[in-house]
């Protein structure tokens, strides 16, 4: 444990914990594998006791939400891990955050009731967003305004029309819901069997911007049974 006393008192049963964390700023350049390595390294350095798998190459028993594409930020990401220790949330967050890289922050820790569905079974949808005031979004909308068929429309009206055109083109091919608020466009993508649509592909079709992943933030996950 790198000289750090293990956190928490050891209990009789294995406890399933869910950690909420954010990935912002420079951390958006971490790939999913890089992020996993950074989190696991921080756990080890913080003295967080975690259960390991069996076999020749034991691994931390952790599970993650859907991977974020390189360039995306995450406001409320989720991972779960197993431990035999009773972990005090405040001390856990303090220890782990002091060892995480810039841009990654542990937000909250909770224990999950024994017998609850797995993380993958509980996830129902993902919410992504782009900020309308982002200069790249404004530039893309301005380019549409220069098209005679969009002439005279405000940027917001152009966005509303692009959304309507996308939904008409996509038809029943996608169950993604697009919501335009005062300052953001939100993409609510259900998580189901098979391959989920990629939010960066939707933004590319809407705006035609290069590297659309860098415009996107995942605001969080929706779980079955949540309001």
- Give me the pLDDT at residue 226, please: 63
CA 130 – CA 134 distance, rounded (Å): 8
**DSSP strand pairing (217-223 vs 73-86):** parallel
Contact (CB, 8 A) for 40 and 182: no
Tell me the average pLDDT across 51-68.
92
- Give me the pLDDT at residue 175, please: 85
Tell me the average pLDDT across 175-202.
91
Classify residue 68 by burial, with Cβ atoms within 10 Å: 0-12, 13-18, 19+.
buried
DSSP code at position 146: T
Question: Which residues, listed in sequence order, are joined to residue 222 by a DSSP beta bridge?
Answer: 125
Separation in Å, CA 24 to CA 84, 135, 216, 219? 31, 19, 11, 11
Contact (CB, 8 A) for 110 and 16: no
Residues in Cβ contact with 203 at an 8 Å cutoff, skipping those fewer than 6 apart: 130, 187, 209, 212, 215, 216
What's this model's pTM, rounded to 2 decimal places?
Answer: 0.92
DSSP codes of every residue in 50-78: --B--SSS--B-EEESSPPPTT-EEEEEE
Separation in Å, CA 120 to CA 56, 66, 100? 26, 9, 25
- Give me the pLDDT at residue 2, please: 57
Range with the poorest average pLDDT among 11-15, 46-50, 193-197: 193-197
- How many helices, marked H, and strands, marked E, lie in the chain? 6, 8
CA 169 – CA 192 distance, rounded (Å): 21
Is a pLDDT exceeding 70 seen at residue 9? yes
Contact (CB, 8 A) for 108 and 175: no
Whole-number average pLDDT of the chain? 93
- Give me the pLDDT at residue 209, please: 94
Is a pLDDT exceeding 90 seen at residue 200? yes
Q: Give the model's confidence band at 55: pLDDT under 50 very low, under 70 low, under 90 confident, else very high.
A: confident
């Amino acid at each position: 444990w790198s000289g750090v006393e293990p956190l928490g008192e050891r209990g009789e049963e294995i406890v399933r914990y869910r950690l909420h964390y954010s990935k912002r700023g420079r951390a958006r350049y971490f790939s999913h594998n890089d992020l996993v390595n950074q989190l696991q390294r921080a756990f080890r350095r913080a003295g967080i006791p975690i259960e390991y798998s069996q076999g020749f190459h034991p691994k931390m028993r952790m599970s993650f939400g859907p991977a974020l594409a390189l360039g995306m930020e995450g406001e409320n990401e989720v991972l779960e891990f197993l431990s035999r220790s009773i972990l005090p949330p405040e001390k856990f967050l303090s220890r782990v955050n002091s060892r995480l890289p810039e841009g990654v922050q542990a937000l909250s820790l909770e224990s999950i009731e024994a017998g609850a569905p797995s993380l993958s079974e509980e996830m129902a949808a993902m919410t992504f967003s782009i900020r309308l005031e982002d200069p790249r979004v404004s530039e893309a909308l301005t380019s549409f305004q220069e098209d005679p068929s969009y002439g005279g429309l405000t940027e917001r009206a152009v966005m509303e029309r692009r959304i309507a055109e996308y939904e008409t083109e996509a038809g029943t091919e996608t169950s993604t819901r697009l919501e335009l608020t005062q300052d953001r466009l939100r993409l609510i993508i259900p998580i189901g069997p098979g391959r989920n649509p990629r939010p960066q592909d939707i933004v590319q079709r809407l705006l035609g911007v290069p590297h659309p992943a860098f415009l996107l933030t995942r605001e969080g996950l929706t779980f079955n049974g949540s309001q």
